[in-house]
Copies of this chain bind each other. A is one copy, B any other.
């Protein structure tokens, strides 16, 4: 479990290594995640100050578990740096990768508003720093600054849309199609460039797409043989025929 400190106490002392990067950037918010994440960074300085008051900070070493299924959930976690893997274990014990959090993303939402038990696991993929807000503090903030709710609602609806799309994909498309559309989306996110690095291991990709590493490996080879893509070392992938990939 990560060490937890009251961030308020440290906000001007820069007790963390990462602060070095933030020195001299202007206003006093750079030291916390408040000014970094989309759900808060639209607020006025004074409002941010109020949030900073209730935020706690915590860090996790690579491989550490942030929370487990069954844990009581009473905080919202916001990633400040690093990456967090969110996954589930099915009844039959298989792992299913739900999503990977990057800086600015948050998790812990489910339990904040409805139930209070986590159903998924959160694991630091690399050394990771997070900000935490407790349920009650957050609810106070939401009542006080309704615009935060709108931001979170916006993020929720985006995520819901994505999750439902993912369900539809896994339940109606065959593996090859799922892989193809995943690759296509990687390109879209890269905005044009036909070359990119897979955002996760093929093992995780298999888990995310609802298949096995063996099948991923085979299907990628097939796509390569058919001339749609080329695989480089270190998970590098180059799309050779985007349109062909779509139809495949």
A-side residues, CB < 8 A to B, are 88, 90-92, 94-96, 98, 109-115, 119-120, 139, 142-144, 146-147, 149-150, 152-161, 163-173, 177, 181, 209-211
Contact = CB atoms under 8 A, between A and B. Distances in A.
Given A142-B150, A152-B153, A153-B152, A164 B92 contact: no
B168 A98 contact: yes
A163 B109 CA distance: 14
Contact of A157 (B91, B98, B120, B156): B156
Contact of A150 (B113, B155, B168, B209): B113
Given A110-B160, A171-B210, 18 more contacts: A90-B169, A90-B172, A92-B173, A94-B173, A96-B172, A98-B168, A109-B160, A110-B157, A119-B161, A119-B164, A120-B164, A142-B150, A144-B146, A149-B149, A149-B150, A163-B167, A167-B170, A170-B210
Contacts of A172: 90, 92, 94-96, 210
A214 to B, nearest CB: 16
Contacts of A181: 91
A156 B160 contact: yes
Contacts of A156: 113, 153, 156-157, 160
